[in-house]
């Protein structure tokens, strides 16, 4: 087809037809599609530009607010430390805005269970022969949490859990025994939060004459962010309700900024064993330390087999050939059931981690830790909707060489998160040896019973009033208690025991319950 006028004067459709050898009708339809695609691209570009502009405004506003908070501090040393924390927070906040604008999400089809070489069986580890390697080790307990969920005041680590001893007492006793038995010097380090630091430093004075060196440092404090304005909630550094500890992923920044990382390296320490202060199974293990040294691994995560009670626990995955930690908060909502599947993901993270201090130093001085952000939505006491940006320490596994998991026995995972857990570890199921809980040899099964106590047992003070003494649970498989139930002295529980009432159940001294379901209102009388 030829135009009667010059090519420049032809209609766009005519030019499109000539260039592509199409009939006028086909060219008109194709040209319309092309214009629609262009409009769509422009809309997408406009949307991205809008998000980018909004992100830039929010980041600038946040930076100005943080600078204003810094300027309110007079003490030069305190100001420097606070400014460093605010810088770290701003980097995290900026990354949050960027990821939100881009809509970056986990590609579920790329998530695979870990490859066999990425998780080593604990039973395959060689027995350690040289105990002197312990001199290269430091033990760190994550000590930032409060005991509020169990109705206690102050740091969770000072709750009495066994034979009048607290979590902290047991940790000190374990390491003190280690130092004496092997003639080594393993220090205990406590990573406190601004919520626990004062109380912890008062408590540890009682260990002054013990064979153990105790060091403390504080994790960062970050400002809560208003969900609507994306501005910091606190108006000053002393406005305690507006701040939060940003999860244990902050360990790397806090350890480095405090100067403690350099101090440990100067003392000849090369490795650090990190665990939650409330995990009574997380004890120093020579075989794991030796394996770490021989395999030249810079990061080892202890994992254990998943049960129905652990389906929400983070798990190791293979993501495009790289080992990663996957937390439930990162999982797309339509794949939550896949994540919970015991068949697909058979292990979960115990948060007991072994790391190379020299490698931490290298990572912090070069790339830094780019940990996945966990957005924790909260409601402040005044009803204000806020967000807390947090990270998990285990997510750093992707930054380290030869990193892998070790599938450890369940005995190395004994957390106390509730009064149900407290009942287990105070019962005759366990014995105490040098601060370490070990399964009673009289227990016929290696598995731990499932214990579920209802709301009447939620707080420690309530729990203590309902047991005249802790029942014998050596032969127990499952215990569920719901309602107003009290236990007398020397009660024995065997098999599956379920006590459910909307009234009251009193179990007198010496009661033996074996495979029993008790419901309704009941008072068992002695006779």
* DSSP structural state of residue 213: -
Residues in the chain: 527
User: From CA 281, how far away is CA 299, in angstroms rounded?
Assistant: 20
Q: Return binding residues for substrate.
A: 248
Residue of 417, 452, 458, 459 marked catalytic: 417
* Structure token pair of residue 511: 């009661």
Give start and end residues of each alpha helix (H) in 207-351.
251-257, 260-266, 286-295, 336-340
Regions of the chain short of the pLDDT cut 70: 1-54, 104, 521-527
Annotated binding-site residues read: 156, 219, 247-248, 278, 417
Contact criterion met (CB below 8 Å) for 225 and 93: yes
The model's pLDDT over 72-97, given as tens digits with 9 standing for 90+, comes to 999 999 999 999 999 999 999 999 99
Q: Which residues of 53-79 are buried (b: 16+ CB within 10 A; e: fewer)?
A: eebeebbeebeebbeebbeebeeeeee
Here the tokens at position 279 are 């995990």
417 is catalytic: yes
Q: State the Cα–Cα distance between residues 485 and 149, nearest whole angstrom.
A: 21
State the pLDDT at residue 401: 96
Distance CA 68, CA 400 (A): 37
Closest CA to 398 of 272, 301, 261: 301
Written as six digits, the tokens of 244 are 């939060």
- pLDDT, residue 104, reads 65
Q: Tokens 């006590």, residue?
A: 499
24-71 helix and 12-20 helix, angle to the nearest 10 degrees: 110
CATH of 419-519, one of 1.10.150.80, 2.160.10.10, 2.40.110.10, 2.40.180.10: 2.160.10.10
Cα distances (Å, whole numbers) of residue 400 to 236, 370, 419, 431 = 37, 12, 37, 37
Helix, strand, coil percentages in the chain from 3-state DSSP, rounded to 5: 40, 25, 35
- Please name the residue that has the structure tokens 């652990």: 310
Question: Cα–Cα–Cα angle for 470, 476, 481, nearest 5°?
Answer: 65
Residues 499/481, Cβ–Cβ less than 8 Å: yes
Rounded to whole angstroms, the Cα distance separating 381 from 47 reads 36
Q: Provide the β-strand partners of residue 279.
A: 415
Residue 483 and residue 454 in contact, taking contact as beta carbons nearer than 8 Å: yes
Evaluate whether the domain defined by 108-412 bears CATH number 3.90.550.10.
yes
322's tokens: 């790289």
Q: Tell me: the pLDDT tens digits for 126-165?
A: 999 999 999 999 999 999 998 888 888 889 999 999 889 9
Q: Which of 520, 433, 414, 424 is nearest to 474 (CA)?
A: 424
Q: Annotated binding residues for UTP, as ranges? A: 156, 219, 247, 278, 417
**CA distances for 308 relative to 18, 425, 451, angstroms:** 67, 20, 13
Q: How many CA atoms lie within 13 A of 311 on its CB side?
A: 11
Angle, helices 24-71/76-102, rounded to nearest 10 degrees:
170
Residue closest to 221 by CA, chosen among 187, 192, 252, 199: 192
Q: Could you tell me the residue ranges of all domains in the chain? A: 47-102, 108-412, 419-519
Continuous segment of H or E residues that includes residue 68: helix 24-71
CB atoms within 10 A of CB 142: 24
Residue of 422, 480, 423 whose CA lies nearest to 453: 480
For residue 298, which of 347, 261, 353, 253 has the smallest C-alpha distance? 353
Nearest 10 degrees: CA dihedral of 440, 171, 398, 109?
Answer: 40
| The pLDDT of residue 491 | 97
């Amino acid at each position: 087809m030829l135009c009667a006028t010059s090519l420049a004067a032809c209609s766009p459709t005519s030019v499109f037809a000539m260039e592509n050898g199409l009939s006028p009708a086909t060219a008109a339809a194709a040209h319309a599609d092309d214009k629609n695609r262009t409009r769509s691209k422009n809309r997408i570009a406009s949307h991205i530009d809008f998000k980018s502009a909004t992100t830039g405004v929010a980041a600038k506003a946040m930076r100005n607010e943080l600078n204003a908070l810094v300027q309110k501090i007079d003490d030069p040393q305190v100001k420097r430390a606070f400014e460093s924390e605010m810088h770290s927070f701003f980097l995290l906040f900026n990354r949050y805005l960027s990821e939100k604008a881009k809509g970056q999400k986990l590609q579920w089809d790329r998530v695979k269970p870990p490859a066999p070489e990425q998780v080593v069986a604990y039973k395959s580890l060689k027995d350690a022969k040289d105990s002197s390697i312990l001199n290269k080790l430091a033990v760190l307990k994550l000590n930032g949490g409060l005991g509020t969920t169990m109705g206690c005041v102050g740091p969770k680590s000072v709750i009495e859990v066994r034979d009048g001893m607290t979590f902290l007492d047991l940790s000190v006793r374990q390491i003190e025994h280690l130092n004496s038995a092997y003639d080594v010097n393993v220090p205990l380090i406590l990573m406190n939060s601004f919520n626990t630091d004062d109380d912890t430093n008062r408590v540890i004075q009682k260990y002054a004459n013990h064979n153990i060196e105790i060091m403390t440092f504080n994790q960062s404090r970050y400002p809560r962010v208003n969900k609507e304005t994306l501005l910091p909630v606190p108006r000053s550094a002393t406005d305690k309700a507006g701040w939060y500890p940003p999860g244990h992923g902050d360990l790397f920044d806090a350890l480095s900024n405090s100067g403690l990382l350099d101090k440990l390296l100067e003392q000849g320490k090369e490795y650090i064993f990190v665990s939650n202060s409330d995990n009574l199974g997380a004890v120093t293990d020579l075989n794991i330390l030796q394996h770490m040294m021989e395999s030249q691994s810079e990061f080892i995560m202890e994992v254990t087999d998943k049960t129905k009670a652990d389906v929400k626990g983070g798990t190791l995955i293979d993501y495009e050939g790289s080992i990663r930690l996957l937390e439930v908060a990162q999982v797309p909502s339509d794949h939550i059931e896949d994540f919970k599947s015991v068949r697909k993901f058979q292990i979960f993270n115990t948060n007991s981690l072994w790391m190379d201090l020299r490698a931490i130093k290298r990572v912090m001085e070069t790339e830094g830790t780019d940990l996945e952000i966990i957005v924790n939505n909260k409601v402040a006491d005044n009803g204000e909707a806020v967000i807390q940006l947090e990270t998990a320490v285990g997510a750093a596994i992707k930054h380290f060489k030869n990193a892998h998991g070790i599938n450890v026995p369940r005995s190395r995972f004994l957390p106390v998160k509730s009064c149900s857990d407290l009942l287990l570890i105070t019962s005759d199921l366990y014995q105490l040896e040098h601060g370490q809980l070990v399964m009673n040899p009289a227990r016929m099964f290696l598995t731990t019973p499932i214990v579920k106590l209802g709301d009447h047992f939620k707080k420690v003070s309530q729990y203590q009033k309902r047991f005249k003494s802790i029942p014998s649970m050596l032969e127990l498989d499952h215990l569920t208690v719901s309602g107003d139930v009290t236990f007398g002295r020397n009660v024995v529980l065997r098999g599956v025991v379920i006590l459910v009432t909307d009234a009251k159940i009193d179990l007198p001294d010496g009661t033996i319950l074996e495979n029993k379901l008790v419901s309704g209102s009941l008072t068992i009388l002695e006779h």
